[in-house]
């Protein structure tokens, strides 16, 4: 069951009434805000409009853009583009969006195109400078994620990359702006402000942005989370008019030498970029393409024969050599040494034995008698054990009486007789 109440603003009687729809059960969206599953619509500007979680239809929209070769290209990804909202309602700052962009049929963007977004509350940017190899058309697919409602929607960007019209820009200068991050100079307002301020340091003429690159992409370090610390951004500007004397002095070798010693660079003119842009004047580079570079001389192939040189004495022809002797020496000498060592070891182990006679003569008679008696007794015991007919010693009989000399008959099984007769 649905309950709805209609409010009419008291200050605008002629205005079309808006509705506040509250759903108690799962059903279709609100009546007056199609595309929103749960929404609050008010007609008063500046009044909170509640949860704006709806997105456009799942069918991707297509937008055609015309980047130019050698010119910076910036395309913002605004939250309002992916939300289905009336034109007179602004996007609240609490809406969170993230984006993912890639080349159609590929997992990533083209090499010349970059994507950046500071946080889900800020818009995203696609920016870069196409090269002559990128001429033609490219399709970029953008997917937007609503972090509040978890809805997604897509957008297709058709990039028709062509050549710029008008004269070329042979005079190019690159500046390192330490007071900004890359997403802070991508909008048109700060970019135009930078060109206007730079016009005071350049000869009169039109200036155009050629490239914008984050300092992190050039090897810069991530700054500490301190207020006022920025990542930095490189801005490349081109013009058809020559550089001013002030810029030439800043990029001179003397100025770089002063920077290497920790001294301020040579800046003879007023810094018109301050205080909005803090430029690192020790990182200014100027490129003059008005003078064509000399072509590299193509080396002429010769006949491969060196010219006559009195200081060069080529080696004479090598005479033939017989390596049989060297081979025999290399093989036979180690074999001969191994054979001699083998014979010496055999003589020491086999021919240098002392012998039994010499050992017996060096042993004392008492020790030899004791040794022989042990061997003799051992042999006698072995012979006695081998011959069962020899009577056993009286001391070994089980029932031998030492005082009386009595013993049991030999045929009596001694194993069945008790050791002590009193046990019966």
**99-132 as b/e: b if 16+ CB within 10 A:** bebbbeeeeebbebbbbeeeebeebbbbbbbbee
pLDDT class for 1, splitting at 50, 70, 90? very low
Q: What pLDDT score was predicted for residue 391?
A: 63
What are the structure tokens assigned to 339, written together? Answer: 């054979």
Residue with the two structure tokens 């001694």:
414
Q: How far apart are the first and last CA of the chain?
A: 113
DSSP alpha helix (H) spans, 29-106: 79-82
CA distances 369 to 60, 179, 362, 383, Å, are 116, 110, 14, 21
Q: What pLDDT score was predicted for residue 294?
A: 73
Q: What pLDDT score was predicted for residue 214?
A: 92
CA–CA separation, 232 vs 114, rounded Å? 16
Q: What pLDDT score was predicted for residue 368?
A: 79
Q: Is 83 exposed, middle or buried (0-12, 13-18, 19+ CB in 10 A)?
A: buried
**30-43 as b/e: b if 16+ CB within 10 A:** bebbebbbebbbbb
| pLDDT tens per residue, range 117-173 | 999 999 999 999 999 999 999 999 999 999 988 889 999 999 999 999 888 899 999
Number of H helices, E strands in the chain: 8, 13
- Extract the runs of DSSP E, i.e. beta strands, from 249-347: 285-288
CA distances 316 to 303, 306, 322, Å, are 21, 16, 19
Q: What pLDDT score was predicted for residue 59?
A: 60
What are the structure tokens assigned to 252, written together? Answer: 């001179």
Q: What pLDDT score was predicted for residue 307?
A: 72
Q: What pLDDT score was predicted for residue 320?
A: 80
Q: What pLDDT score was predicted for residue 16?
A: 36
CA–CA separation, 110 vs 115, rounded Å? 11
Residue range 301-317: average pLDDT?
73
| pLDDT tens per residue, range 44-62 | 333 333 334 344 444 668 8
Sequence-ordered list of residues with C-beta below 8 angstroms from that of 77, at least 6 positions apart, any chain: 99, 101, 117, 123, 124, 125, 126, 142, 144
Residue range 221-248: average pLDDT?
88
**pLDDT at residue 12 is higher than 60:** no
Least confidently predicted of 102-116, 374-388, 401-415: 401-415
């Amino acid at each position: 069951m649905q309950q709805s109440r209609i409010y009419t603003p008291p200050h605008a009687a002629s205005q079309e009434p808006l509705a506040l729809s509250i759903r108690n059960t799962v059903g279709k969206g609100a009546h007056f805000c199609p595309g929103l599953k749960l929404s609050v619509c008010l007609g008063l500007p500046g009044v909170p409009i509640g949860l704006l979680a709806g997105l456009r239809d799942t069918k991707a929209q297509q937008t055609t853009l015309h980047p130019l070769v050698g010119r910076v290209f910036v395309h913002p990804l605004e939250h309002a583009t992916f939300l289905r909202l009336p034109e007179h309602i602004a996007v609240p700052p609490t809406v969170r969006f993230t984006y993912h962009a890639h080349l159609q049929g590929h997992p990533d963007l083209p090499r010349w195109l970059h994507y950046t977004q500071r946080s889900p509350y800020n818009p995203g940017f696609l920016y870069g400078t196409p090269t002559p190899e990128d001429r033609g058309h490219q399709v970029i697919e953008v997917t937007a994620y609503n972090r509040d409602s978890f809805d997604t929607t897509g957008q297709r960007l058709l990039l028709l990359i062509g050549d710029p019209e008008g004269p070329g820009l042979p005079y190019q200068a690159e500046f390192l702006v330490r007071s900004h991050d890359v997403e802070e100079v991508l909008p048109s307002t700060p970019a135009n402000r930078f060109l206007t301020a730079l016009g005071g340091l350049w000869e009169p003429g039109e200036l155009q942005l050629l490239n914008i690159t984050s300092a992190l992409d050039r090897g810069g370090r991530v700054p500490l989370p301190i207020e006022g610390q920025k990542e930095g951004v490189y801005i490349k500007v081109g013009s058809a008019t020559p550089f001013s004397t002030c810029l030439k002095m800043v990029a001179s070798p003397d100025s770089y030498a002063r920077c290497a010693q920790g001294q301020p660079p040579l800046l003879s003119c007023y810094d018109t970029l301050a205080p909005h842009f803090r430029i690192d004047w020790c990182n200014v580079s100027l490129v003059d393409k008005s003078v064509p570079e000399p072509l590299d001389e193509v080396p002429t192939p010769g006949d491969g024969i060196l010219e006559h040189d009195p200081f060069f004495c080529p080696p004479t022809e090598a005479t033939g050599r017989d390596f049989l002797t060297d081979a025999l020496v290399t093989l036979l000498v180690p074999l001969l040494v191994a054979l001699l060592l083998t014979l010496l070891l055999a003589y020491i182990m086999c021919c240098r034995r002392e012998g039994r006679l010499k050992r017996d003569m060096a042993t004392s008679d008492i020790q030899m008698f004791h040794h022989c008696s042990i061997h003799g007794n051992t042999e006698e015991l072995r012979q006695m054990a081998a011959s069962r007919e020899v009577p056993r010693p009286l001391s070994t009989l089980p029932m031998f009486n030492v005082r009386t000399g009595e013993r049991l008959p030999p045929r009596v099984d001694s194993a069945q007789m008790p050791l002590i007769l009193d046990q019966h």
